[in-house]
Structure 1
């Protein structure tokens, strides 16, 4: 009798905080769906919660962390729903972190988890946060509580600039066998900060669910008004996304009588400030806030342009989502922008300032054929996860050590 196939499969443990809405979590679920049959995968979540839980394939074994460690994977509101004890504990840890740092809280919470063993590869999928944030801990968990032949940490950020490039985090990353960066730009930013890890750091691109994108895009897509340039942004409404300076750019264009509308999908800490600036700039007719949307793809599909005015970014998944849906991109020059947006074919990467954003949008307003050429190019491309899967297979080869 033949041996069961799973006896020959490599055993992989992947650790993440939760499966709440976010680029890291979306990338993780897409990865799981691409490796579910090739490997024996176990997913450990600090908190088995979030909208993406329902999208984890049945072939993946999901386990939740010890009760105390779950506090590190949930929000304060979620802790409140668990009762006074959980709420008080999380509040205490969060306050300590704000005053001092997250070193002790993370260490204490991780120590409550029994050690796990029997894995060929253990992956920390969530990069460490800056030290005043009660967030992260996946790196320490993999290093301290898991026995595996190969230990890997993923980087989803512009490491040199995101706020977590600290001596302690640097020492933590040096303990891993390999580092996986989700773009070449992210890899270069990380290696710039920790040059001695150059040879241990490689790219593993984000995985995408292209069939989901097109299905959702075709589900009641938004039809925008003719006679306007309709630009769309899907982003968290926080300072690094540059929405406030984008409003200034639009104000200039409207003042010059250009017919333009900006559709913004997302929510966040800066929403009130953004709303006030839109009203103060008399742009309510031209800038529409839709808040968080379960299906952003129906907003992207019929837009003329995707616009991202960020001060800094890592490797936004929304770039590939937009390109796949045939929507060209105007973005500021952040870590991976030049790598991910082919200049003059898929859109344009402008310098990271208001003046260059203004010129880039004005250029396509003055010559609509530019957008038509971009769209023709994008719709002729073939989008797959073949490269990402090859990179992942190479990453987890223990023999490469």
Structure 2
């Protein structure tokens, strides 16, 4: 009989955890495992990416799908919040909601961990997937997370660096843990990179300047505020180039204001969220990831797969993806280092071409095979 694997995740909005979950599902041997997804809220661009033969349950409907006015939407938000709180207070209600009893339950994000440890399915194997960097979190909150981790059967860290930093920062050892890198859907990434995209945006790549592309949510973690400053200074110093950012998020307004303040509206472009960011990465001259912290940044791995020369801050699991000066260029997080790295790429085309040659030699064949073996091990 197939083992039922229940993935808990807040929504299917574009994000690294969601993409990681989809790649895990695609790695599963369907003769042995039946994947099921439990969403807090039924919403998100990546809903369309869920394989058709995967069951989906959700606790509330996303308000974006409701045909109602502002007041009704506000009231629906309150109602949704009350429903989610109800499931949090009375987890046994989930037994009525689901038509299955899972053998394995996985919390794909920190926000799902509390509900995982309070699951009404007492006999299920409980696994926590940890993607974050806890340096933004207080010691008290961090130790609460460790306590919940120890109530699970296993915690999976997405990189050795993330696990090491987590334990060092909190001065606690997560004894029931191991590292599994995020799976990569290599054929899908390469295939989607060949798709066409908006003609007006395609013309941006025809400008007579080099183009840096970055993909990520517009949040403090991603470091786009500092990238704007570095870009502005380079432009003033005569190093013409443009930066295109694919993504959306709560910092859109503040970043847009900074772009206007720095007078770089024509060269630092926020193109918003794209269901398929891969043609933009493939079309770019360079990829840049200016993050303050990361777990295992899928976008960096995707740029590597697409043979786009890349600059990334050396945070989280980046060093486990990129070999410095060989398959990419790694830097510390600062305006000064971002400036120097971009300047180096603009001035040293031979160095950049050597990175591309090294990227093309990279063999990803064993990457997913090893992950499949690890999944078999933790699910048995």
Q: 2:47 is matched with which residue?
A: 53
The 8 Å contact of residues 202 and 395 in structure 1, kept in 2 or not, is answered as no
1:347–1:79 Cα change, 3 Å: same
CA distance in 2, matches of 1:83, 1:357: 42
CA distance in 1, matches of 2:189, 2:67: 35
Q: 2:20 is matched with which residue?
A: 27
CA distance in 1, matches of 2:51, 2:217: 27
Q: 1:389 is matched with which residue?
A: 372
Q: 2:248 is matched with which residue?
A: 267
CA distance in 1, matches of 2:148, 2:66: 28
CA distance in 2, matches of 1:27, 1:298: 20
CA distance in 1, matches of 2:253, 2:13: 23
Is 1:88–2:90 an aligned residue pair? no
Structure 1 segment 14-163 matched on structure 2, within 5 A: 14-46=7-39, 47-60=41-54, 62-65=55-58, 70-71=59-60, 77=64, 86-90=76-80, 107-108=88-89, 110-114=91-95, 119-127=102-110, 136-148=111-123, 150-162=125-137
Provide the TM-score with structure 1 as the length reference.
Answer: 0.81
Q: 2:175 is matched with which residue?
A: 199
Displacement of 1:167 in angstroms is: 3.9
CA distance in 1, matches of 2:63, 2:125: 34
The 8 Å contact of residues 235 and 241 in structure 2, kept in 1 or not, is answered as yes
Determine helix, strand or coil for the equivalent of 2:95.
coil
1:284–1:19 Cα change, 3 Å: closer
Q: 2:344 is matched with which residue?
A: 363
Aligned CA-pair RMSD: 2.8
Q: 1:282 is matched with which residue?
A: 263
1:312–1:114 Cα change, 3 Å: same
How many residue pairs match? The answer is 366
Larger CA deviation: 77-86 vs 206-215? 77-86
Determine helix, strand or coil for the equivalent of 2:47.
helix
The 8 Å contact of residues 16 and 125 in structure 1, kept in 2 or not, is answered as yes
Displacement of 1:392 in angstroms is: 1.7
The 8 Å contact of residues 4 and 102 in structure 2, kept in 1 or not, is answered as yes
Displacement of 1:323 in angstroms is: 0.5
1:300–1:366 Cα change, 3 Å: same
CA distance in 2, matches of 1:249, 1:83: 40
The structure in which a higher percent of residues are helix is 2
Gaps of 5+ in 1: 1-6, 95-103, 128-135
CA distance in 2, matches of 1:138, 1:396: 18
Determine helix, strand or coil for the equivalent of 2:195.
coil
Structure 1 segment 188-337 matched on structure 2, within 5 A: 188-193=164-169, 197-220=173-196, 222=202, 224-225=205-206, 227-337=208-318
Displacement of 1:146 in angstroms is: 1.6
CA distance in 1, matches of 2:151, 2:63: 31
